[in-house]
């Protein structure tokens, strides 16, 4: 209270001085203990003589209990603040418990697989890239020691929220980058096939196309004719791309891609891997940035 209230600031200063002297086995020299004790007991006498008597008798014990509670609560506040800054959650990486700094849990919400976007927070899962083959996904390999993998859905508001930060991270930190479209809703399945064919036939021109799909109206993105219009606007051969997307071999390859993504223990989008470490939900940019050179205290 001394931090926020001028009337309590002097008492806080006296209290800290008293505590310091007590922990160094010296008595308080300001009379603070008796002053506070008399104030508390005086108020309790108006309510309950019994409580006043107990407090007077065990005031020393109560004082140390509250001191320990203060130290404990200070530790957890600092830990929560650190975790929020590093992970976007007071409770640690991908933990979705209550966080005073993010009371609505926006940093941990995801598009549940085959469910509606952002309905609820999810508990922590053991997401991993171990033994996952990402070789067929769109990739920017610039020889960096750092690699960012984004698994997202064009339709998901939370992937869209994270997407610009991931592009900024890849651009500013000059990392390798892999993008994997995971259709959180079945009516976006065909976009995985379209995206693969564009990348296969047009190489780096895919990335501008991919960026654009995260900016268009997500209601219209379900419509194949609308996607054809976008393909034309990017000067892609619409027939060639669609014929490729309908090829049974391409459909099998895309299904194999989805199988690989499920092996990550994916449970929602966006899921981002930075140097193999998974982050679920749209984290603040500082979280993605810190993961490249992470220093863990808690």
Residue 236 · residue 194 · CB < 8 Å: no
Cβ burial 258-281 (10 Å sphere, 16+ → b, else e): bebbeebebbbbbbbbbbeebbbb
Q: Determine which helix (DSSP H) or strand (DSSP E) holds 18, and give its type and residue range.
A: helix 6-23
The pLDDT value recorded for residue 47 is 80
Question: Is omega for the bond preceding 155 within 30 degrees of 0, making it cis?
Answer: no
Q: What is the mean pLDDT of the chain?
A: 82
pLDDT digits (tens, 9 = 90+) for 161-217: 999 999 999 999 999 999 999 998 777 889 999 999 999 999 999 999 999 999 998
What single string gives the DSSP state of each residue in 233-296? Answer: HTT--HHHHHHHHH-HHHHHHHHHHHHHHHTTT--EE-EEEETTEEEES---HHHHHHHHT---
Cβ count within 10 A of residue 56: 14
Chain-centre distance for alpha carbon 24: 43
Q: Choose between 237 and 99: higher pLDDT.
A: 237
Flag whether pLDDT at 117 surpasses 60. Answer: no
Q: Which residues partner with 280 through β-bridges?
A: 271
Asked whether the predicted pLDDT for residue 86 surpasses 60, the reply is yes
Which has more pLDDT, 19 or 224?
Answer: 224
Give residue 3's pLDDT band: very low, low, confident or very high (50, 70, 90).
low
Residues ≥6 apart with Cβ < 8 Å to 72: none
Query: Given a cut of 70, is residue 159 above it in pLDDT?
Result: yes
Q: How many CA atoms lie within 13 A of 246 on its CB side?
A: 7
- What phi and psi, each to the nearest 5 degrees, are found at residue 119? -70, -40
Q: Is the pLDDT of residue 291 over 60?
A: yes
What pLDDT score does 236 carry?
97
Mean pLDDT of 63-76: 79
- Is 277's pLDDT higher than 80? yes
Q: Which residues contact 213 (CB under 8 A, 6 or more apart)?
A: 154, 191, 195, 221, 230
Structure confidence by residue, pLDDT tens digits, 14-63: 777 777 777 777 777 657 677 777 777 787 777 888 887 887 777 778 77
**pLDDT at residue 14 in the model:** 74
Coil vs helix vs strand at 88: coil
Average pLDDT over residues 129-145: 94
**Which residues contact residue 296 at a Cβ distance below 8 angstroms, ignoring those fewer than 6 apart?**
86
Q: Tally the C-alpha atoms within 13 A of residue 262's C-alpha that lie toward its C-beta.
A: 10
Q: What is the pLDDT of residue 201?
A: 96
- How far does Cα 35 stand from its chain's mean position? 47
pLDDT for 210 equals 96
Domains along the chain? Answer: 6-87 (no CATH), 107-292 (3.40.30.10)
Give the pLDDT of residue 121: 45
């Amino acid at each position: 209270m001394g931090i926020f209230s001028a009337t309590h600031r002097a008492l806080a200063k006296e209290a800290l001085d008293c505590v310091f002297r007590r922990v160094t086995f010296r008595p308080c020299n300001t009379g603070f203990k008796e002053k506070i004790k008399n104030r508390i007991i005086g108020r309790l006498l108006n309510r309950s003589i019994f409580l006043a008597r107990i407090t007077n008798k065990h005031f020393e014990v109560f004082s140390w209990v509250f001191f320990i509670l203060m130290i404990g609560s200070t530790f957890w506040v600092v830990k929560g603040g650190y975790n929020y800054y590093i992970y976007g959650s007071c409770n640690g990486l991908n933990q979705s418990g209550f966080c005073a700094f993010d009371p609505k849990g926006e940093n941990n919400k995801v598009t549940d697989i085959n469910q509606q976007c952002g309905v609820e927070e999810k508990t922590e899962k053991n997401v991993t890239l171990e033994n996952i083959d990402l070789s067929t996904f769109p990739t920017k390999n610039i020889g960096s020691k750092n690699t960012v993998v984004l698994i997202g859905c064009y339709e998901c508001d939370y992937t869209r929220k994270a997407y610009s930060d991931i592009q900024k991270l890849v651009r500013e930190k000059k990392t390798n980058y892999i993008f994997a479209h995971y259709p959180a809703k079945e009516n976006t399945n065909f976009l995985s096939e379209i995206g693969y064919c564009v990348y296969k036939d047009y190489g780096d021109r895919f990335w501008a196309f991919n960026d654009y799909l995260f900016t268009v109206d997500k209601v219209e993105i379900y419509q194949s004719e609308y996607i054809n219009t976008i393909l034309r606007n990017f000067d892609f051969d619409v027939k060639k791309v669609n014929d490729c997307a309908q090829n049974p071999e391409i459909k099998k390859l895309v299904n194999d891609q989805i199988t690989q993504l499920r092996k990550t223990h994916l449970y929602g989008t966006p899921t981002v891997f930075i140097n193999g470490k998974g982050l679920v939900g749209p984290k603040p940019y500082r979280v993605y940035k810190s993961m490249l050179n992470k220093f863990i205290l808690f």
